[in-house]
Amino acid sequence: MNSEQSEEPAPERDGRPIGRRVFLGTLGLGALGVVAAPALQRGVEGFLGGVAGKDPTGLTGLLPNGGGFRYYSVAASVPHKTAVDYRLTLDGLVDHPRGYTLDELRALPRTRLVKDVQCVTGWRVPGTPFEGVRLSHLLDAAGVRPSAKAVRFTCFDGTYTESLTLDQARRPDVLVALRMQDKDIGHDHGGPVRLYVAPMYFYKSAKWLSGITVTDRVEPGYWENLGYDVDAWVGRSNGRDDEPTS
């Protein structure tokens, strides 16, 4: 799957009409759902997840229990992590780098937000609750150094990456999410811990989050290296005009 994905020609970052950029990028993401479906059928939510993943029309999103979500993974298989073996590390330009267990994260103050989710390929899921620890809380606890400008996210799928500027990362609607749809986040949705960036397209919300590194510059993430916008505000990026989500 990864090799098929990387054969997709990477759109030029500069000097191209946005229409072409988004078209190519959307093809990449659309094809991805199809390729990822067989692996995901093994998951707990596998049946509808698999069907939805094969449906480029989005109509299965209207089925009950499908919830409107497609399951995406750029990795062929992702290890399952539980409270026993899950770790989140926070390091980089901070005074107090540390690791968190799932129980340690669960003990921190929680924020619950209910907003629409919008994927850059077009599907939208209304009013989805996410609950977790504000990223700003973890950053403050770590003591971000003055030279810091950005945050880089890594995932235990071994492949996906994301990034935010420090200002974006400190927004109150950016969470290290532990719950989604008022349930602990299941494996297929990126559990036990995923990022949730409410005001941006859903590709910013990295699943299977395992690392937060404070850096001195934004390093474009997985899809951003394939032409998607780094500043992925819903409705004012990627050539789209969706209603904002936050």
Ligand X SMILES: Nc1nc2c(c(=O)[nH]1)N[C@H]1C(S)=C(S)[C@@H](COP(=O)(O)O)O[C@H]1N2
> Helix, strand, coil: what percent of the chain each, to 5?
25, 25, 50
Residue 179 is given by DSSP the state E
Task: Look at residue 155 and give the partner it binds from Mo ion, ligand X, none, a contact being a CB closer than 5 to 8 Å depending on partner kind.
Answer: ligand X
Residues that bind Mo ion (CB under 5 A): 119, 202-203
Residue 155: count other Cβ atoms within 10 Å of its Cβ: 25
- Shortest Å, Cβ 95 to ligand X: 28
* Closest CB to ligand X among residues 105, 180: 180
By CB under 6 A, is residue 155 in contact with ligand X?
yes
* Closest CB to ligand X among residues 26, 111: 26
> CA nearest 75: which of 9, 152, 19, 155?
155
By CB under 6 A, is residue 73 in contact with ligand X?
yes
Q: Report in angstroms the alpha-carbon separations of 65 from 35, 41, 47, 51, 117.
A: 22, 15, 10, 12, 16
Backbone angles phi, psi at 19, to 5 degrees: -60, -45
* Closest CB to Mo ion among residues 196, 202: 202
- Shortest Å, Cβ 16 to ligand X: 21
Distance, in Å, from the CA atom of 118 to the CA atom of 94, rounded to the nearest integer, reads 32
* Closest CB to ligand X among residues 133, 155: 155
Task: Look at residue 189 and give the partner it binds from ligand X, Mo ion, none, a contact being a CB closer than 5 to 8 Å depending on partner kind.
Answer: ligand X
Q: Site residues (CB under 6 A) for ligand X? A: 29, 69-74, 119, 155, 157, 160, 189-190, 202-203, 205-208
